[in-house]
């Protein structure tokens, strides 16, 4: 996270001080580094440079138009999982020919909209979806480019809520049924089989489950070719983990490519990648202000103005986020063990539990690190809290890429009887 570092005694995003930013836009605020975003994207683009490939950023990790537009302009494609994300991706300027549509429950309207937009590929997850897509495409007089998402049944060794490649998960077509499903797909007039797809989970910290999964897909592609089903695209999904704790060392883009490339190169396919977290996760922080301190005798609490509605990952996944004071001088204060909690009326509303932090005082600014992915994207209005402002920093300038919600925004669409 070298794009977030102390300069002139304040924590900065690139050249912008988070203290002056908080004074300008208020807290809580999501702050993103454009340089970090582009680095995340280019890391993949470079690592896969010697095979035909498209890095399709997984929109659900952070769907802000400022983030999407930055990646679209850099040349990325988009991996979407809903009609809403299709709308956003097109609005942000992704070429339809670089958009792939994943997800286990696409509605007929969503399929139709994506066919109309002429996207690159549909990652189909069930026979029911395949038949629906075929029917809609024939009605429209087009052929839908299709990959089947197969479930390779490997253990991604991650949190159960974000493990997707085990045979007990709802995702993909069971590996044992894949050949039969491809045979049906190849017989349909409304679809054109172009690829095979996997996505085994998120926050993967080892490459071996990915290697196993890709090996299984490669074997499948070879069998399909023997049966004259020509697969020319392999989508390896997303899921590469990021460093949340200082002592973690997840695989780099290079490590990831080194494991996958030999197999993919031999197949001679176009490679699609669907990274989300590893592009945007460490490109963002959640900036918050300490409201109160509280010592119950048994426990010390630091009550801040950000809450689980802004960042649900600690409550939902037991996730760890580093917390840093914005004022560098605070680092010298004696350490104490605290819970960092928000104002929401739930005991699950915490950003950190039993955390050793340098003592911080009321009014201090704190940065919740590594919050760029699945932070603002999963934010809600619980407790009728307006969603936070989002800011994209570029060098010594910043742009508000989403204004803070107003109370009027929150009740728009509702009716008093
Ligand atoms: C969530 C998701 C991704 C992105 O996962 P990350 O862990 O953020 O890289 C990619 N593909 C599919 C199908 C997904 O559901």
Between CA 16 and CA 313 the distance in angstroms is 26
Q: Are strands 77-80 and 284-295 parallel, antiparallel or unpaired?
A: unpaired
Which atom of ligand 1 is nearest to 197's Cα? 13
Q: Which residues of 403-415 are buried (b: 16+ CB within 10 A; e: fewer)?
A: ebbeeeeeeeeee
* pLDDT score at 356: 97
By most ligand atoms within 8 Å of CB, the mutation choice from 43, 58, 85, 121 for ligand 1 is 58
**The three-state (H, E, C) secondary structure of the chain, written as one string:** CCCEEEECCEEEECCEEHHHHHHHHCCCEEEEEHHHHHHHHHHHHHHCCCCCEEEEEEHHHCCCHHHHHHHHHHCCEEEECCHHHHHHHHHHCCCHHHEEECCCCCCHHHHHHHHHHCCCEEEECCHHHHHHHHHHHHHHCCCEEEEEEEECCCCCCCCHHHECCCCCCCCCEEHHHHHHHHHHHHHCCCEEEEEEECCCECCECCCHHHHHHHHHHHHHHHHHHHCCCCCCEEECCCCECCCCCCCCCCCCHHHHHHHHHHHHHHHCCEEEECCCHHHHHHHEEEEEEEEEEEECCCCEEEEECCCCCCCCHHHHHCCCCCEEECEHHHHHCCEEEEEEECCCCCCCCEEEEEEEEECCCCCCEEEECCCCCCCHHHCCCCCCCCCCEEEEEECCEEEEEECCCCHHHHHCCCCCC
* CA 182 – ligand 1 centroid, Å: 23
Which atom of ligand 1 is nearest to 102's Cα? 13
Which DSSP string corresponds to 332-381?
Answer: GSPEEEEEEE-SSSSTT-EEEEEEEEE---TT-EEEE-S-SSSSGGG---
Radius of gyration, alpha carbons of the chain: 23
Residue with tokens 């023997």: 226
CB 389 within 8 A of CB 65: no
CB 102 within 8 A of CB 79: yes
By most ligand atoms within 8 Å of CB, the mutation choice from 79, 159, 198, 378 for ligand 1 is 79
Q: What dihedral do alpha carbons 224, 200, 173, 270 form, nearest 10°?
A: -30
Residue 335 pairs in a beta bridge with 358
CB 274 within 8 A of CB 102: yes
Atom 10 (ligand 1) nearest CA: 238
* pLDDT score at 165: 76
* pLDDT score at 214: 95
Between CA 345 and CA 170 the distance in angstroms is 32
Which atom of ligand 1 is nearest to 275's Cα? 9
Which atom of ligand 1 is nearest to 279's Cα? 9
CB 371 within 8 A of CB 332: no
* pLDDT score at 4: 98
* CA 136 – ligand 1 centroid, Å: 26
**Local structure of 170: helix, strand or coil:** coil
Each residue's pLDDT, cut to its tens digit, for the chain (417 residues) gives: 689 999 999 999 999 999 999 999 999 999 999 999 999 999 999 999 999 999 999 999 999 999 999 999 999 999 999 999 999 999 999 999 999 999 999 999 999 999 999 999 999 999 999 999 999 999 999 999 999 999 988 887 788 887 787 778 889 999 999 999 999 999 999 999 999 999 999 999 999 999 999 999 999 999 999 999 999 999 999 999 999 999 999 999 999 999 999 999 999 999 999 999 999 999 999 999 999 999 999 999 999 999 999 999 999 999 999 999 999 999 999 999 999 999 999 999 999 999 999 999 999 999 999 999 999 999 999 999 999 999 999 999 999 999 999 999 999 999 999
Residues lining ligand 1, judged by CB closer than 6 Å? 58, 60-61, 79, 81, 102, 199, 202, 237-239, 274-278, 373
User: Active-site positions?
Assistant: 345
DSSP 119: -
Between CA 15 and CA 35 the distance in angstroms is 11
- How is residue 238 written in tokens? 């997303």
* pLDDT score at 157: 79
* CA 315 – ligand 1 centroid, Å: 20
* CA 389 – ligand 1 centroid, Å: 25
* CA 330 – ligand 1 centroid, Å: 37
215 closest CA partner among 203, 202, 198:
198
* CA 278 – ligand 1 centroid, Å: 10
By most ligand atoms within 8 Å of CB, the mutation choice from 67, 164, 237, 284 for ligand 1 is 237
Which pTM does this prediction carry?
0.97
Domains parsed from the chain with CATH numbers: 4-32+281-411 (2.40.37.10), 34-278 (3.20.20.10)
* CA 103 – ligand 1 centroid, Å: 10
CB 173 within 8 A of CB 148: yes
**Residue 72, φ and ψ in degrees, nearest 5:** -60, -45
Count other Cβ atoms within 10 Å, centred on residue 316. Answer: 15
Which atom of ligand 1 is nearest to 240's Cα? 9
By most ligand atoms within 8 Å of CB, the mutation choice from 85, 100, 274 for ligand 1 is 274
């Amino acid at each position: 996270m070298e794009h977030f570092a102390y300069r002139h005694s304040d924590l900065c995003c690139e050249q912008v001080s988070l203290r002056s930013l908080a004074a300008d836009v208020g807290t809580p605020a999501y702050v993103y580094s454009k340089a970090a975003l582009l680095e995340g994207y280019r890391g993949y683009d470079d690592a896969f440079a010697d095979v035909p490939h498209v890095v399709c950023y997984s929109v659900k990790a952070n769907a802000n138009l400022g983030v999407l537009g930055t990646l679209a302009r850099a040349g990325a494609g988009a991996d979407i999982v809903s009609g809403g994300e299709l709308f956003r991706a097109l609005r942000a300027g992704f070429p339809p020919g670089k958009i792939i549509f994943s997800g286990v429950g696409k509605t007929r309207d969503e399929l139709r909209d994506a066919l109309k937009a002429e996207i690159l590929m549909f990652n189909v997850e069930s026979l029911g979806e395949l038949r629906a897509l075929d029917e809609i495409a024939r009605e429209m007089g087009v052929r839908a480019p299709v990959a089947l998402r197969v479930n390779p049944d490997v253990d991604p060794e991650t949190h159960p809520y974000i493990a997707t490649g085990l045979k007990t998960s709802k995702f993909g077509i069971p590996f044992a049924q894949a050949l039969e499903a491809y045979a049906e797909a190849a017989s349909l007039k409304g679809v054109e089989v172009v690829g095979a797809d996997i996505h085994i989970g998120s926050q993967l910290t080892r490459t071996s489950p990915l290697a196993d999964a890709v090996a299984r897909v490669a074997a499948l592609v070879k069998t399909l070719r023997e049966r004259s089903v020509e697969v020319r695209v392999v989508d390896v999904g997303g899921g590469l983990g990021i460093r949340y704790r200082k002592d973690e060392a997840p695989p780099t883009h290079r490590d990831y490519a080194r494991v996958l490339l030999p197999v993919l190169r031999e197949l001679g396919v176009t490679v699609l990648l669907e990274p989300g977290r590893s592009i945007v996760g460490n490109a963002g922080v959640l900036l918050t202000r300490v409201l109160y301190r509280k010592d119950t005798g048994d426990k010390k609490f630091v009550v801040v103005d950000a809450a689980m509605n802004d960042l649900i990952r600690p409550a939902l996944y037991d996730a760890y986020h580093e917390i840093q004071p914005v004022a560098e001088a605070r680092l010298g204060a004696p350490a104490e063990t605290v819970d960092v909690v928000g104002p929401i009326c739930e005991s699950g509303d915490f950003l950190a539990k039993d955390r050793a932090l340098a003592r911080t005082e009321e009014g201090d600014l704190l940065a919740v690190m590594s919050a760029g992915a699945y932070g603002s994207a999963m934010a809600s209005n619980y407790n009728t809290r307006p969603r936070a402002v989002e800011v994209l920093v570029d060098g010594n300038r910043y742009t508000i890429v989403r204004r803070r919600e107003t109370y009027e925004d929150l009740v728009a669409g509702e009716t008093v009887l």
